[in-house]
Chains A and B, each alone.
Chain A
Amino acid sequence: MTMDATLSGHLQELRRGTVVVASLTVLREPGYGYSLLETLSAAGFEVEANTLYPLLRRLESQGLLTSSWNTDEARPRKFYRTTEQGDAIAAALRGEWMRLDKAIGDLDTPDSGPGGDAADGTRDHTPGGTSSGSE
């Protein structure tokens, strides 16, 4: 596996869950598949349509989104909207994101961290090349 492939694999892993948070957050205002795709990529999320469209259906089946067909316009569209439960989960996920962001920031600049962890010398520096590249 080349370095580029390794990096893109890990980036993909890292971004995977963010689409869920972003979608649940954006869809507090009702939206349809393509509009959400546009909104997310304008906001800087690298999400592919073939990930997003199945994801919306999965979130719906988990009860985090509801959907309804809007046939008022010439082109009927399936509009999704975040449910109460979805909103609660999105809030929890955003909280986790903040926590991780802080934690990673702390690791990156060990001096500012409370533990003084550079002293014990047992930190595990396993390189990231052993990913099994799932899916």
Chain B
Amino acid sequence: MTTLIDRYVFTVLRRVPEQQRTDIERELRTSIDDAVDARVGGGEAREAAVEAALLELGDPDRLADGYAGRPQYLIGPIFYPLWKRLLTTLLSIVLPAVVTIAVVIRVLQDATFGDVIGTVVGTTLTVGAHMVFWVTLTFALLDRAGVEKADLRRRAWTPDDLPRYEPGFLTPAQLWATVLWPVLMIAALVLQQFAFTEEPVLDPANWSFWWPYLIVVLILEGLYGVWVFRRGAWSHTVTAVNALLAVLFTAPVVWLAATEQFFNPEWIAGVDWGTQDPLRWLTGITITIAVAGAIYDIAEVAVRAERARRGLATPVPGTGREFTAPLS
């Protein structure tokens, strides 16, 4: 486990210029040790002394700001992580969603294959540029106005706010993503029956078994996310459960698509892509996405679990330092 002092020092170093890190780390660790020793000498328990010493040092972001000096940048260190995270989310999740919706609308308007490609490129560039510009402008203005992170958080920092930096833990954001994804999929699966199009996109005959089955598997995926979050560690059990869920979901989807039972024939009949056969394309795309997604998911979790099990050093993002997980 990372000690509180490690977590504190890493948190400070993240926001300090790289060439000063080594010197600052040495001096800061000495200063903290001195403060802890003084408290221990005064009769405090070591653990309490560490906590009190860090609390006295206060918010590590403020300390790092002091070390780093005046801002000379568009997005300052206060907002840079938030700006980057927000843009990453927008560009990797919201933008594809917007593009998908735009494409679906074009397809439903009986667009040609060329129109669809044009919509993808046009929407990606226009919406992407708007996202980057407005987000950056907003953060630059916040930075210039001297807004601090504590203003947004509305409470004082405590040592418990320190990130854990351990590879085995899901962050709350990752938990949200793990839970939100199945919910969105279920919503899409149910809504396509009634909304979006005149004829349902997916074969309504499967409501007799396969669509309810997929909903159950998706609910299990959500529960899996909560389970991993509360467990707080990765292991081969997690790998196995995750792989099982991935197979339970992917295998029926691939089978349904391959045997032409996935899409609603009446909807396919209404789609006109000129010389292209929409069913062939959609089947190919569906199978590719399902298989690639499953393989990526299984491999990613397996690698994380194996790294955690072996206690391999994991880079702590943004510090240039590594954290070695304990063998468990």
Contact = CB atoms under 8 A, between A and B. Distances in A.
A53 B35 CA distance: 13
Contacts of B63: 50, 53-54
A55 interface: yes
B266 interface: no
Interface stretch (B22-30, B168-176, B238-246, B307-315): B22-30
A53 B66 contact: yes
Contact of B67 (A38, A57, A77): A57
B35 A34 contact: yes
B31 A49 contact: yes
B56 A49 contact: yes
Contacts of B34: 32-35, 75
Nearest to B60: A50
Please tell me the size bucket of the interface on B.
20 to 34
Nearest to A55: B66
B35 A77 contact: no
B30 A32 contact: yes
A54 B30 CA distance: 14
Contacts of B56: 48-49
Interface in B261-292: none
A134 B147 CA distance: 10
Contacts of A135: 146
Nearest to A34: B34
A76 B23 CA distance: 12
Interface string A38-59: 1000000000111101110110
A77 B26 CA distance: 8
Given A50-B66, A51-B66, A54-B66, A33 B58 contact: no
Please classify the interface of chain A as helix (H, G, I), strand (E, B), loop, or mixed, using the class held by over half of its residues.
Answer: helix
Interface string B1-37: 0000000000000000000000110111011011100
Contact of A50 (B23, B38, B57, B146): B57
Nearest to A69: B26
Contacts of B30: 32-34, 75-78
Contacts of A55: 66
A135 B146 CA distance: 8
Contacts of B164: none
B42 interface: no
Given A33-B27, A33-B30, A78-B26, A49 B66 contact: no
A126 B189 CA distance: 66
Nearest to B28: A53
A33 B66 CA distance: 15
A54 B31 contact: no
Contacts of B33: 75
B114 interface: no
B57 A49 contact: yes
B69 interface: yes
- Which of A34, A48, A57, A69 has the largest count of B CB atoms less than 10 A from its CB? A34
Nearest to B12: A50
A135 B26 CA distance: 27
Given A54-B66, A55-B66, A76-B26, A34 B58 contact: no
24 contacts: A32-B31, A32-B34, A33-B30, A34-B35, A35-B34, A48-B58, A49-B56, A49-B57, A50-B58, A50-B59, A50-B62, A53-B28, A53-B63, A53-B67, A54-B66, A54-B67, A55-B66, A58-B69, A75-B33, A75-B34, A78-B23, A78-B27, A134-B146, A135-B146
Given A49-B57, A69-B26, A134-B146, 20 more contacts: A33-B27, A33-B30, A33-B31, A34-B30, A37-B31, A48-B56, A50-B57, A50-B58, A50-B59, A50-B63, A50-B66, A51-B66, A53-B63, A53-B66, A54-B67, A55-B66, A57-B67, A58-B69, A75-B33, A78-B23
Interface of A: 32-35, 37-38, 48-51, 53-55, 57-58, 69, 75-78, 134-135
Interface of B: 23-24, 26-28, 30-31, 33-35, 38, 56-59, 62-63, 66-67, 69, 146
Enumerate the 6 nearest inter-chain pairs by beta-carbon distance, A residue then B residue, closest first.
A54-B66, A34-B34, A50-B63, A33-B31, A50-B58, A78-B27
